[in-house]
Amino acid sequence: MKEMLVETIKNLFSKPATVKYPQEPSPPPANYRGLIVYRAPLCIFCTKCEMVCPPGAIRFTYGEDGSKKFHYNPYLCIYCGECVRACPKPGCLTQVEETAPPETEVPDWDALEKAAEESKKAFLKARAAAKAKKK
C-alpha cells in the first residue's frame, strides 16, 4: 500500500505516458502492416494474389479478349500481407507503413464479386470453345 502511495505521488508530477491524441499526432508505428499498393504496369496477371487472399479482398474481372483488371477493397482487407508474399513479380504488390485507408470510393463490392465470377466463367467457356474449334 505504501509503495503504491509513493508511486501515485510520483506520478502526479511525472510526464504523462499518453499522448493528447487529437491535438497532437499519434507517433507513427514503425514496421506497421499498412496498405497494399498495386502497380499495374508491373503486373503479369497470374492471379496468385487472388487465390491466396483469405477474405477475398482482391478480385480480377475478365474482359472478352482475356484481359484482366485488378480490384482491391481496403475495407475488406485484413492486411496479412499474404498477397505480397505470393506475388512472383517484385515491386508489383507492396505493403506500405501508411495506416489510414485511402479516401477512395470503393465500388459496389457485391456487384463486383458477381461480375468477377461471371466474367471468369464466360472467359473460360469462350476459351474452351475456341480450343474445341481448333481441334
Partner 1 sequence: MGKRITVPFGSQHVALPEPVRFVFQTENEKIVDVEVDVGYVHRGIEKACATKFKYMQVGYVVARVCGLCAISHTLGYVTALERLMGVEVPKRALYLRLLVSELDRIHSHLLAMGHTAEVAGYENLFMQTFRHRELVMEMLELLTGNRVQFDFACPGGVNRDLTPEVEKVLREKLKLLEEKALWLKDVYENDFSLALRWKGIGVVTEKMAKEMNVVGPPARAAGLKTDARAEFNYLPFKEVGYKMVVLKGGSIYERNLLRALEVLNSIQMCWNVLDGLPEGEIKVPVKGLPEGEMFVRIEAPRGELFYYIRGSQKLVLDRVRIRVPTFSNIPVMKELFVGMDYADVPATVISFDPCLSCTAR
Q: Which residues bind partner 1 (CB under 8 A)?
A: 1, 3-4, 7-8, 17, 29-33, 52, 54, 78-82, 85
Q: Which is nearer to partner 1, 18 or 105 (CB)?
A: 18
| DSSP one-letter code for 125 | H
Under 8 Å between Cβ of 88 and 46:
yes
Give the closest residue to 65 by CA, choosing from 11, 108, 119: 119
Distance CA 135, CA 33 (A): 50
User: In angstroms, what is the minimal distance from the CB of 81 to partner 1?
Assistant: 7
Closest distance between partner 1 and the C-beta of residue 135, in Å? 30
Nearer to partner 1 (CB atom), residue 95 or residue 119: 95
